[in-house]
Structure 1
Amino acid sequence: MTVTQVALIKMPAGNEYFNLLTKAGIVFDYIALMWLLALTNGVLSPLFPIAYLVVMHATIYWRTKGAILSSISLTAGYSTIFAVQAQFDFNTTFVFILNLVFIWIIGVFGSLIVIRERKHLKQKEIFHELMFTDYLTGLYNHRHFQEQLRIMTRARQNFLLVMGDIDHFKQINDQFGHLIGDEILKNLGGIFRDLAEDYDAQAFRYGGEEFAFLLPSIEETRQISFFDDLYGRLSSEKFSKECLSVTMSFGIASSKSGILPDKLLGYADQLLYSAKANGKNQVKFESRYTYYYSKAKEEIAASKQ
């Protein structure tokens, strides 16, 4: 059982054997329990309550089917121990029957409770996802963005706010249709989720074709690397057959001591609109530096010298 647990910890959840091992663990639990009962006074073993855990374990992974199968298996194994032990006095027989009754009570009613609670938990997860996640891109939504921005500014955390906008998105919708526009937004959501994970950041769909990032406070050279990575992923993405590529403009501002969320958001917006007004497909920094993807590699190389 220890070897199995170590293997599960080291095995990625997507592995084809992961689900098999987690369910097969119930079989090992059952065998171990029968062995322990046989070694510790059989029917009267003080370790019998472990049987309830086996039933609940089976219920978690196999639902009602697991509860019934585990109850049947425990009844058969426990009955075998009772028959082999051959102690049919009143006390032993009473304990045997009582334990079997409790196995089935826990197996049947316990499975109903577990299934109901799992269903309730699943519904809560769905409601939470709907409340904080944008349905199309899979990114956090506007509401969650506003909450996180308020929390981080009130806590006086040092962080970076990035506001972004797709260039010429109205023309894309007019030319190719809103279905293509939605496909572009969905692809951008996947790009930004991966990017946020790599930089320990949070990515949001602010609304329409606007996006936002909350980044940890990093120096400007690292910020340039972030945008180099972002624009590199944008340039390599084939968004749809009709519209192969899109460009974006961004503004980036840092939190300051005591700054209000609305002021920080307004400042980042100003930088974004400045980037769009000055030719798009660029990033405006609060230091007045302007990032262009075509020049980024040369600038990063120069900063390392």
Structure 2
Amino acid sequence: MKELKPLLKNAYLSYHGLEIIFSSLRWVFLLLSTVVFTVRYTQNPDPLKFYLFVALVVFGILYMGVSDYYLHKSPEGSTMYTFMTKGGPFFDFIAFSALIPLTGGIESPLLPVAYLILLHIAVYWRIVGGLIAATLFCTFYSIIFYMQVSDVYTLSNLVVYFCHVLFLYLVGGLGGIIVSRERKQHSEKNELAEVANRDYLTNLLNHRSFQENLRKDLENGSDFYLVLADIDRFKSINDQHGHVTGDKVLRQIGEIISTIIPAKQGKVFRYGGEEFAIILHMNRKKEVDNLLVTIKEAIASHLFYCDGGESFSVTMSFGSCIQNGEKPDQLVEKVDKLLYEAKHRGRNQIVYSNVG
């Protein structure tokens, strides 16, 4: 039960979490389909249906195996990840269309699976996709119904038929509306949260976000280096070239640092004023040093321009150390002293703690 709660929460917050649930359900329905087919096959053996079902199972295992691989191994947003996740409902429809005739047609206990597939389609394609998919399912159901039922136009059979069609359209249409509404609200909430956690000038994560990330990483016991970096003599830049140029310098330096720091290994924050903070999820000082030297040299060699066309360059000083179980404010104070030492040594320096 404890493992289920985070999974459900993740499914509500992201498409990725929802895809994990749908992927798991495919394996459950594959097992359930095998049981249903086996029971029906023992009652009415048909070698052709047996071979078709085996082929369907093999195809399903191959597809679901490949899909799960890209779902867990590929970065979200990559071509294969997008193809496998958004293409999943099409596979589900094809598999469903082949499975239902093999497990009893309109009498198949697996027929309600259509509603889940419709909801899955509505997640990506909203109300239009839900209605189009409902039309496809109704067409498929109509074909099976007219092939299997002898007295189609009796009142009882017509009631059954129209009820199924109605429910399919209701799930497709209303499901699409509900999903669209929920996703819109969630998207707007995420946008507001993103704005609250971003610095308006540099578009880097802001001080508030830095404190939250630092606290979480320390609570989780993650290995990381904290870096504080400060632009040398930034006040003279504002005094000599103006605050507009100073703002441009801040933005460009933020871009330089963000470009160099690998997204999976670190986060860059505007700590405040001309100071930046970096959390590097690394535990080897040599790797951190190589990265910081690259940043320091890239900034020192970069030419900045004021409105008059005059060019100038700036340097930065850095203080860094690996976390050692300190509280957030203790760790920040420790690194801040290292940054002050770098300034005291003549600026354009990287100073590390003797520990780590």
TM-score range, shorter chain: 0.7 to 0.9
Match of 1:97 in 2: 162
- Is 1:32 aligned to 2:95, yes or no? yes
TM-score with structure 2 setting the length: 0.67
- Is 1:250 aligned to 2:315, yes or no? no
Structure 2: runs of 5+ lacking an equivalent: 1-59
TM-score with structure 1 setting the length: 0.76
Q: Distance in 2 between matches of 1:100 and 1:226?
A: 61
Q: Distance in 2 between matches of 1:134 and 1:84?
A: 64
Aligned length: 287
Q: Which amino acid aligns with 1:268?
A: V
The 1:263–1:42 alpha-carbon spacing in structure 2 relative to 1, beyond 3 Å, is: closer
Deviations 1:163-189 (A, max 9, x none): 111123233344444444334333333
8 Å contact kept, 1:34–1:78 = no
Match of 1:262 in 2: 329
Identity %: 37
Question: Which is further off, 214-223 or 200-209?
Answer: 214-223
The 1:22–1:98 alpha-carbon spacing in structure 2 relative to 1, beyond 3 Å, is: same
Q: After superposition, where does 1:21-170 map in structure 2 within 5 Å?
A: 22-87=85-150, 88=152, 92-151=157-216, 159-170=224-235
The 1:224–1:95 alpha-carbon spacing in structure 2 relative to 1, beyond 3 Å, is: same
Deviations 1:177-211 (A, max 9, x none): 44443343333334433544368333321012101
- 2:109 alignment partner, SS class: coil
Report the alpha carbon displacement of residue 114 of structure 1 after superposing the two structures with TM: 0.7
Structure 1: runs of 5+ lacking an equivalent: 289-305
Report the alpha carbon displacement of residue 46 of structure 1 after superposing the two structures with TM: 1.4
Match of 2:11 in 1: none
- 1:252 alignment partner, SS class: strand
Report the aligned-residue RMSD: 3.5
8 Å contact kept, 1:138–1:190 = no
8 Å contact kept, 2:319–2:351 = yes
- Is 1:206 aligned to 2:282, yes or no? no
8 Å contact kept, 1:249–1:280 = yes
Match of 1:293 in 2: none
The 1:157–1:51 alpha-carbon spacing in structure 2 relative to 1, beyond 3 Å, is: closer
8 Å contact kept, 1:247–1:281 = yes
Residue 247 of structure 2, aligned match among 161, 167, 182: 182
Report the alpha carbon displacement of residue 282 of structure 1 after superposing the two structures with TM: 1.1
8 Å contact kept, 1:4–1:21 = no
Q: Distance in 2 between matches of 1:271 and 1:16?
A: 44
8 Å contact kept, 1:199–1:215 = no
Which has the bigger relative contact order, CA under 8 A and spacing at least 6? 1
Q: Which amino acid aligns with 2:118?
A: V
Report the alpha carbon displacement of residue 106 of structure 1 after superposing the two structures with TM: 0.9
